Each structure stands twice: as C-alpha cells, then as structure tokens.
C-alpha cells in the first residue's frame, strides 16, 4: 500500500482532525447483514455490539473494533472500517464501550481508559461460544489504547487472537490529557467535557444516589472530570493514578501477535514523543508507522484509484488482510 499523502487542503492538523467529523459519508451498504448482541461483563454490566457475520462465520477471520472517547459503534471510522473489512471477507464486531451508543442503562459504572478487561471478555466469548479462531483487534484513540493493553495482558495466552491495529492510541494518558487541555486544543476539550457532563447527568438519573452531579458546575477540563468522576468510579486513587495504570505502554513489551501502531507526528493531543518508548524499539511483533501529517485519526488522503479518502482505514485493512490467508471477498 502506498504511503500516506495528505490532501493538500488538510495539512493543518486541526483541519485534518475535524474534517472527517463534519464530512458526510455513506452509511453501511443495505446488503451488509447486522445483528445486535449483548456481551455480559463480570461486573454486572453489558456491552452492546453490532455484528456483521459472513455466511460461514467460523471459516472467516473476525475483526473486533473499539471506538474512542465519547464515540460509539456508529462513529464514522467504525462504519468505514466495518464496510471495508466485511467486503474483504471478515466478520466484523463493532463494540460499544460501557455507556456508549445509548447504553447508559446497561451498566452502573462509567467507562475508562483502563477497561481492557472488557475487550478481553468479548474476545474470549467470541472464541469460546462462537468458535472463532482468528480474531483481530482494531481500535482508534482510546480504543487503540484498550486493544493494545488487552493484547499485552494476554501475551501469548489466547490462540484466537491473531493481531492488533491501533490508530492514534493514547498509550500515555497523562501526557495526552495534558496536551488536550492546552489552550490551543480548547475545541476538543470543550467537546469532550460537554459530552461527558451530559452523560453523567443521564447516569445520575438512571442510578439515583450513585453519582452526584453537583461538582459538574465547576468542571472545565477533561482532567477535572477524571479527577471528580472517572478515577473514583474506576477504583483509582485520583486522576494521576488512573492515567498511570491505564496506559498500555507498560505492557507493549508483552504483545505476542503482529501489531500495527499508526499515529501522526502532528496529532494535536497524542504527543509524538510518547512513542519514544523502549518496547516499541525492542518488540519485533510491533510495527510502528508515523506519517508527518494525519492529525488525530484523520488521515484524509488525495484521491487514489480504487480507494476512498480514508487512508488509515485502508491501512488497517491491508495489514490484517496480509496475515489472514482465509480471507475471501464477501458475496
């Protein structure tokens, strides 16, 4: 696959980041089957996923997709990757993290960057219950951190796990949050804070007495929200403890399957310097790619024959397809 060539009008990292979120793109094809499914989590929570099965699921590889902070299974990149993967013969599972995609009622907890156990639970069920023996994990941003963390925790213990792709993963949550709350990134911080506040109010109404919405009035940054809500709900001492424990960088050295980490050197709030990490140099199972441009999960390319403009989605598909010999085009 050719190297990333950014669209000439989108070399500014903020434009590259924001453009895909406002540019209309087609939904999933009408001939692509979909099945809603709930996965039970040991904590008493349930995760809603949208599943797209090939006609003979056990004979096909599967990609389990995980979205980023305040995204969901309907996020544009989740739909884009799902379409491309299914067309190449993959089963696709678009997973909602806890509370996302309108599922606040399915869990008494919030969700956070360290919940890789949820990803592992879904992986185990797909392998044990569905008999799927070739599963790939794909994640964007926070979802990228989660799939890397899950793979590192599993090491070589899961025969069904065949590989991982992480796009702009926040492997160091403290550094990423510090970048996010800088004045130059106010638009992203404002978006996340507004969305998280709305979700917390909904949770407070659904689970009376569990969440106190009063502190919301004083919250201005993602760090404020994590300090007041995310960290204590997740059992962490404070936001700093949460960020330190949740980062996948600590387990990258234990990843034992082919892995692609794709980021952009100009990502506004995933600092490029966080990838100067020993395991990324020493773990031969990890391939690291970092184009100069791309923004945060943007990677909008010049027009290319046979491809749409979403280069990272194509790169994800080419990486997992190359190692999936049973992959055949869906009919």
Q: Report if residue 149 sits inside a domain.
A: yes
Please tell me the predicted confidence (pLDDT) of residue 297.
97
Please tell me the predicted confidence (pLDDT) of residue 320.
96
CB 50 within 8 A of CB 88: no
Nearest to 112 by CA among 245, 300, 267, 307: 245
Please tell me the predicted confidence (pLDDT) of residue 49.
98
* Residue 302 predicted with pLDDT over 90: no
Averaged pLDDT of the chain = 95
Q: Report if residue 220 sits inside a domain.
A: no
Mean pLDDT of 298-312: 86
What is the domain-level CATH number for residue 69? Answer: 3.40.50.1820
Please tell me the predicted confidence (pLDDT) of residue 211.
97
Please tell me the predicted confidence (pLDDT) of residue 31.
86
CB atoms within 10 A of CB 244: 15
Q: CA distances (Å), 140 to each of 148, 202, 329, in order?
A: 11, 25, 25
The number of folded domains in the chain is: 1
Band of pLDDT at residue 29, cut at 50, 70 and 90? confident
> How many CA atoms, within 13 angstroms, populate the side-chain half-sphere of residue 65?
32
Band of pLDDT at residue 193, cut at 50, 70 and 90? very high
* Residue 226 predicted with pLDDT over 90: yes
Band of pLDDT at residue 326, cut at 50, 70 and 90? low
Q: Report if residue 1 sits inside a domain.
A: no
Domain extent, residue 38, equals 13-180+252-322
Q: Report if residue 164 sits inside a domain.
A: yes
Q: Report if residue 235 sits inside a domain.
A: no
Exposure of 286 by Cβ count < 10 A (0-12 exposed, 13-18 middle, 19+ buried)? buried
Distance CA 200, CA 225 (A): 10
Task: Tell me if residue 43 falls in helix, strand or coil.
Answer: coil
Please tell me the predicted confidence (pLDDT) of residue 331.
41
Mean pLDDT of 262-271: 98
* Residue 304 predicted with pLDDT over 80: no
Mean pLDDT of 222-248: 98
Please tell me the predicted confidence (pLDDT) of residue 22.
82
Q: CA distances (Å), 34 to each of 69, 89, 206, in order?
A: 24, 15, 28
- % of the chain with per-residue pLDDT over 70: 98
Q: Report if residue 214 sits inside a domain.
A: no
* Residue 69 predicted with pLDDT over 70: yes
Q: Report if residue 313 sits inside a domain.
A: yes
Band of pLDDT at residue 266, cut at 50, 70 and 90? very high
Q: Report if residue 198 sits inside a domain.
A: no
Range name among 31-40, 50-59, 208-217, 300-309 with the lowest pLDDT average = 300-309
Please tell me the predicted confidence (pLDDT) of residue 274.
98
Mean pLDDT of 318-328: 80
Band of pLDDT at residue 256, cut at 50, 70 and 90? very high
Global pTM value: 0.96
Please tell me the predicted confidence (pLDDT) of residue 56.
95
Band of pLDDT at residue 307, cut at 50, 70 and 90? confident
Band of pLDDT at residue 327, cut at 50, 70 and 90? low
Q: CA distances (Å), 13 to each of 27, 59, 304, in order?
A: 26, 41, 21
């Amino acid at each position: 696959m050719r190297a990333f060539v950014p669209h000439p009008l989108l070399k500014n990292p903020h434009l590259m980041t924001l453009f895909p979120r406002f540019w209309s793109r087609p939904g999933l094809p009408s001939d692509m089957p979909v099945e809603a499914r709930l996965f039970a989590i040991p904590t008493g929570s349930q995760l809603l996923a949208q599943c797209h099965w090939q006609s003979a699921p056990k004979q096909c590889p599967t990609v389990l997709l995980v979205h980023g902070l305040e995204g969901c299974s309907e996020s544009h990149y989740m739909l884009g990757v799902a379409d491309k993967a299914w067309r190449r013969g993959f089963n696709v599972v678009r997973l909602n993290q806890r509370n996302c995609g309108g599922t606040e009622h399915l869990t008494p907890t919030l969700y956070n960057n360290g919940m890789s156990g949820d990803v592992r639970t879904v992986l185990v069920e797909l392998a044990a219950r569905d008999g799927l023996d070739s599963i790939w994990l794909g994640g964007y941003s926070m979802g990228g951190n989660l799939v890397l963390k899950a793979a590192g925790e599993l090491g070589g213990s899961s025969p069904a796990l065949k590989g991982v792709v992480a796009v702009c993963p926040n492997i160091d949550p403290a550094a990423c949050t510090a970048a996010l709350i800088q004045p130059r990134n106010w638009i992203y911080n404002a978006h996340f804070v507004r969305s998280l506040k709305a979700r917390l109010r909904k949770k407070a109404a659904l689970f009376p007495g569990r969440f106190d919405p009063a502190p919301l009035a004083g919250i201005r940054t993602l760090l404020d929200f994590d300090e007041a809500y995310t960290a204590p709900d997740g059992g962490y001492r404070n936001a700093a403890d949460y960020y330190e424990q949740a980062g996948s960088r600590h387990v990258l050295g234990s990843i034992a399957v082919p892995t692609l980490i794709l980021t952009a050197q100009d990502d506004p709030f995933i600092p490029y310097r966080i990838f100067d990490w020993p395991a990324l140099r020493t773990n031969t199972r990890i391939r690291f790619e970092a184009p100069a441009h791309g923004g945060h999960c943007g990677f909008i390319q010049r027009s290319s024959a046979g491809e749409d403009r979403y280069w990272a989605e194509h790169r994800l598909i080419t990486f997992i397809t190359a190692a999936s010999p049973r992959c055949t085009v869906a009919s």
